[in-house]
Amino acid sequence: MKKIFTLLSLSLTTLAFGQTTILNSGFETWGGNPSPGVSTEPNNWYSNKSGSGLASSGPQTCYQDMTIKHGGTSSARIETKNSILAVVNGNLTTGIVCAPSANKAEGYIGTLNPSSATDIRRMAFVGRPDSLVGWYQYTQATSGTNPTNEQGKV
């Protein structure tokens, strides 16, 4: 009986340490990123406004939403917007959005700003999750294919 209890205790202890924590996963704190200091982004998260290349010149796509939330005081609202050059996809990432041109195929998300070698953005994530669990809400465009009406809330 002692052996079974010891093995069970060790197994539960191992499982307790197996979870990877995502910082500010509830999107409760905003505007405190040290680099580049975009006040419209949640702490530890980045959008196109803090991206490199053409990404930062596009419209804002990430907003703090205080009306629709789940278990906290706010949520992240991600919108797709029209721009002069192209439709800008809404995004929210723990890395940096890199858009070297208006061609979406050339865009990527990285951890190092190609414009500044000292601007490193990443969240240490050593886990290998098999799923992503959260609360999401999507609002489809209501008139034709106008992407400015599409919204996602996280």
The H or E element spanning position 10 is helix 2-16
Read off the pTM: 0.75
Cβ neighbours around 109 below 10 Å, total = 14
1 in any annotated domain? no
Domain count across the chain: 1
14 in any annotated domain? no
Going residue by residue through the chain (154 aa), what tens digit of pLDDT does each one get? 666 656 566 655 555 555 677 889 899 999 888 777 788 899 999 999 988 888 888 899 999 999 988 889 999 999 888 888 788 888 899 888 999 988 888 999 888 888 777 887 877 777 777 777 888 888 776 655 555 555 666 5
Task: Please tell me the distance from the alpha carbon of residue 143 to that of residue 154, in angstroms, as a whole number.
Answer: 23
Boundaries of domain holding 145: 24-153
